[in-house]
Structure 1
């Protein structure tokens, strides 16, 4: 007796079926059944459902271009599944410049704390994201290279994630230069500038540091308190 397929399993199968058909083209039901380890009868029902499924358009109604479509004659006469129209899966994500930089910075921080092979996956994702053309939103001066827009931000975020102390030289807005050892707490961005909120051991108090004023930051082996 065939084990019943739950709704979640059907959804996962449909999500896998669409890219497979886009890559391999028209495929017989039996071949798909073998590939996805499912009964041919269940697969036919899912394909028929796919032929009337879609994503509502801007008017929140379904037009022909908002629906998947299949070659019904090929299915009924030759038992072949042929997608003739797909929706949504062809859409390319669009990010603003600020969103792209934030995602890339986050991925680069993850590279410092993730084990292999997850670290390599994060690195590849950052490289792919760097090739995405952002939506123009007036965010001038934001780097979209595979490297961090500011290596200091990546290092500071890494120290926060690892709960490690930081040591750096700090140049205040008045021009004074001091050496600080801190427990980094969080990073915040106000407009374009980044700020590090931390407990400063040299002042024995909480301080907010402008990231642009931080020079030669080093992550220490000591754990942050």
Structure 2
């Protein structure tokens, strides 16, 4: 039987953090103590500022709840290292996250054991992130956290959503997963009004409201959230159409253009189809230039005009380069 009250309380706290609810009997079994001892240890944690809800009866149990302040967390070695490295690299596409991540990292490193600091330092010096464009849409980290909690708890949400054409709608969804792609964040959810799966860009979501109602977990078509979102993104309507028939294998094209993903379709071993359609003409030009192989193009007139103008501009620059300055 566990006799170290402090160590046992920390172990109890670690268990409460791993899942939404525990029965008293389950906790007692995991800690090798009596149910009465579990109740006393729960009271000790409450005295330290942790908000632990409990329900009596056969189906009762304990749940770590949100309080007015953030009490200390119990992390194992792997969790501490993972959080430190994640804070160091900080998620892209989020407004104001960089400064907040650095403050949190400084606090974590201050209390981190010496044996872990070396591991974190080695990882930090070996990792680097590149932000190509900070002028695009940025998601709110508070919104991201709220949606993540709703996904974990399968809690039904309502929010206002602005579609790509600017039209505003009110949505009621069962949130399932958050997916980052191309500097943007997407919420994958089952829309209760549409009775179908939908993806929502976080920068277009406003005024989310938790309903307090929970839905039974649903199975994603295909079972992979990231793959599902990638398929929906590639199938979404765009303003300009541009499809290239490329004289290279699909695997070779994907290897040289990591961001294309499902937009590449294999035709045979030596050719593939690349859908470069987009709302932005300049992005279409960059996608096609990145192919770096011969291709035939089927595109809207506006796309062809833009590519022709861009090509002529580059040819003029190449034909008359500016002389080097002294």
Flag whether TM exceeds 0.5 (same fold): no
Q: TM-score, normalised by structure 2?
A: 0.28
Name the structure, 1 or 2, with higher relative contact order (CA <8 Å, separation 6+).
1
